[in-house]
Amino acid sequence: MWFRTYTHEVAQGRDPAAQRATCIAIGAFDGVHRGHKALIADMMARARAQGLQAAVFTFDPLPKVFFGAAEPILSLQDRLDGLHDLGVEQVHVASFDRAYAARPAEAFLDDLASIRVAEVHVGDDFRFGKGRAGTPELIRSRFRVVEKSAVLCDQGERISSTRIRALFKIGDLETARMLLGKTRAAMPAAHALGAA
Ligand SMILES: Cc1cc2nc3c(=O)[nH]c(=O)nc-3n(C[C@H](O)[C@H](O)[C@H](O)COP(=O)(O)O)c2cc1C
Ligand SMILES: Nc1ncnc2c1ncn2[C@@H]1O[C@H](COP(=O)(O)OP(=O)(O)OP(=O)(O)O)[C@@H](O)[C@H]1O
C-alpha cells in the first residue's frame, strides 16, 4: 500500500469494500492557506451536493521538502488538524520518498480508483507523477475533474505556500497570517523562532 488513511484523529486500517464514493482535493496543503481553504470549501460543497465522502490526498514529507527546496510551514499533525477543522472526513497520506517520486502518473490514478474517487479537485497548476508529468487533463481521462483557478490576495497576487514561507523568512508575520487566514497554528512551528 502506497498511502495510509486518517479518519478524524485515528489512523485506521481500511476495508476497501467499505470505502464510500469520494470527492477528493489533492496537494501538499502546507499552511492550509486561503487558496487551499477555498479549493477545499468548493470540494466539500460538491461532496455534500452529491452525497459523496469529502477527502484530501496529501504527502509526507512534502515533496518540496523531500527535494530540499523548502522548509515546512506546518507539521503533518498541524496539517491534518487544519484539514479536519475544515470538515474534511478522510485524509490519505502518501509517504513521499525516492521510490514514490519515481511512480508514473498513471499509477497514482490507480491509487485514486482504489479509494473510489468519483470527482477530483485541484488547482490549474497541479502536477503529479514521475517528473511531474501528470496534469489535470490526464486525471480527466479517468475521473470527473474540477479545476480551481488561482485564489489571489487583495493585491492581485496568487496566494501560495512559497510566498508565505518567504514572508516568515523576512519576518512579515502580519502578511503571512493574512494569507494563511484563520488557522489553528497561530505561529507555524518551523518558523516559531523567527527568521534565521
Ligand atoms: C506518484 C507521484 C510521483 C511524483 N514524482 C515527482 C517527481 O518526480 N518530481 C517532483 O518534483 N515531484 C513529484 N511529485 C510531486 C508533485 O510534483 C506535487 O508536488 C504533488 O503532486 C503535490 O502537488 P502540489 O505541490 O501542487 O500541492 C510526485 C507526485 C506523485 C503523486
Ligand atoms: N491560490 C490558490 N488558488 C487555487 N488553488 C490553489 C492555490 N494554491 C494552491 N492551490 C491548489 O491547492 C492544492 C495544493 O497546492 P500546493 O500545496 O501546491 O500549494 P502552493 O501554495 O502552490 O504550494 P507551493 O507554493 O509550495 O508550491 C493544489 O491542487 C493547488 O493547485
Q: What is the pLDDT of residues 7-42, one digit of tens each?
A: 753 344 555 567 899 999 999 999 999 999 999 999
- Give the mean pLDDT of 123-148: 97
Residues at CB less than 6 angstroms from ligand 2: 26-30, 35-36, 39, 64, 122-123, 125-126, 148, 150-151, 158-162
Integer Cα distance of 23 and 43 in angstroms? 7
Prediction pTM value: 0.92
State residue 44 phi and psi, 5-degree precision: -70, -40
Closest CA relative to residue 86, chosen from 28, 45, 125, 116: 45
CA of 123 to the centre of ligand 2 (A): 6
> Is the ipTM of this structure higher than 0.95?
yes
Least confident piece of the model among 13-22, 42-51, 77-86: 13-22
CA of 7 to the centre of ligand 2 (A): 23
Nearest-atom number in ligand 2 for the CA of 64 is 26
CA of 143 to the centre of ligand 1 (A): 19
Q: Are strands 10-11 and 22-26 parallel, antiparallel or unpaired?
A: unpaired
The answer to whether residues 50 and 161 touch, using CB atoms and an 8 Å cutoff, is no
Grid coordinates given for 102: 519515481
- Residue matched to cell numbers 501538499: 28
Grid coordinates given for 54: 469529502
